[in-house]
Amino acid sequence: MHPGNETTVTEFILVVFTVIPGLEYLFFTLFLIIYVITVLRNTSFIFAYSLCSDLHTPKYFYLTNFSFFEICYVSITVPKLLSDLLTESKTISFYGCAAQMYCFFLLGGLECCMLAVMAYDRYNAICNPLLYQTIMSKRVCGQLLAGTWIISVINSLIHTILTFTLPFCSNMINHFFCDIPPLLKLACRVSIMNEIALFAIAGFIITGSCVFIVISYLRVIATILGIHSTSGRRKAFSTCSSHLTAVTIYYGSGAFMYLRPKPNQSLDQDRQIALMYTVIAPLLNPLIYTLRNGDFKLAFRKIIQHMFSPKF
C-alpha cells in the first residue's frame, strides 16, 4: 500500500534501471542485440517449419507456436525498454500500461500452458508410441492450442481489470514495464480480490502447469529407464532434456517473482528477476531447442541447399 492521497492517474513513469550516466548507450546496444537475435532465431524456426514438410509433426507444431509466442512476448517489453534507455521522459499512458500488462500476462500464460502441452506431447511420444499419431491427431493438437488461448485470455483479463480498477496514490512505477507487484505498491488500498487473483490464479497457471509437467516427466523417465537399449535411452533423454531446461529457466524465475511471500518482495530484485524471463529466457530457448535437434538442423540444411542450388 502506497501512502498518500488518491489521485487521478493519466500516465505512469517507469523507473527503468539505475544506470551510471554515460552507460545508457551500452545497455541500449546490449538489449538491442539480444532482441534482434531472439527475433531472428525464433523466426528461423517458424520459417523452417513452414517450408519443410518433415517437421510437420505435433512436436514441431507446438514448438513453432511457442516460437511465435516468444517473439510476441519479448516484443511487449524490450522495445519500450530500449526507448526509455535513450529518452528523458520514461512515461507510458494509463491505457498503454493496461494494454502492456494484458499482453504480457496473455503471452506469459500462453507460454506456461504451451510448455505443459509440450510435456504431454513428449509423454505420449515416449510412453504410448504406438498410439501417438492417434492421440495427438491434428484435431487434438488444435483443441489443445485453443485451450491454452482460452485459459490465458481469461487469466490476463482478470488480472488487468482487478489491477486497473484500483485507486492509485502515485504514478512512479519502480520497474521497466507494467507488472502487477510494482503497480500494487502504488495503490492506495489493495482489495483481497487482488491478492487472491495474484496467488490463486497465477498459482493455478504457474504451479498447476508445472505440476503437470513434473508428473508427465516422471512417467517419461520411468518409461525410459525400462528401455533396454542404451542408444534408445540416450535418444529418449535427448528429446526431453531441451524441454526440461526451458521449463526450469522459465518456471524458476516466474515462480520466484509471483509466488514468494509478500514481505520478501524487493522491487529492485524484481527487475533483475524479470530480465531473466522476459529477455534472457526468450534468447536462450531457441538455442536450447535446436542445439541437439538433428531434425531441425537437417531441415534447415535442406532449405539452405534448395535456396542456393543452381536453377536450370
pLDDT one digit per residue (tens) for the chain, 312 residues: 445 566 678 899 988 766 566 778 888 899 999 999 999 989 988 888 888 887 888 988 998 999 999 999 999 999 999 998 888 888 999 999 999 999 999 998 898 899 899 889 988 988 888 899 899 999 999 999 999 999 999 989 988 998 898 888 888 888 889 988 888 888 887 767 777 766 676 667 777 888 888 888 888 888 877 776 666 666 666 666 766 777 777 776 666 666 555 555 555 667 777 788 788 888 887 777 765 566 676 776 777 766 666 554
Cα(192)–Cα(147) distance, integer angstroms: 28
pLDDT of residue 281: 82
CA-closest candidate to residue 128, choices 138, 140, 136, 116: 136
Q: 13 pairs with which residues across the strands? A: 91, 172
Chain position carrying cell 536450370: 312
Per the structure block, which three cell numbers stand in for 300?
A: 534447415
pLDDT of residue 92: 93
Chain position carrying cell 529466457: 281
pLDDT of residue 107: 93
Neighbouring residues of 161: CB distance < 8 A, sequence distance ≥ 6:
none
pLDDT of residue 300: 67
Per the structure block, which three cell numbers stand in for 114?
A: 504451451
pLDDT of residue 312: 47
CA-closest candidate to residue 105, choices 151, 170, 147: 151
Domains defined for the chain, CATH in brackets: 11-308 (1.20.1070.10)
Per the structure block, which three cell numbers stand in for 36?
A: 534482434
pLDDT of residue 74: 93
Cα(102)–Cα(108) distance, integer angstroms: 10
pLDDT of residue 90: 86
pTM of the full predicted structure?
0.84
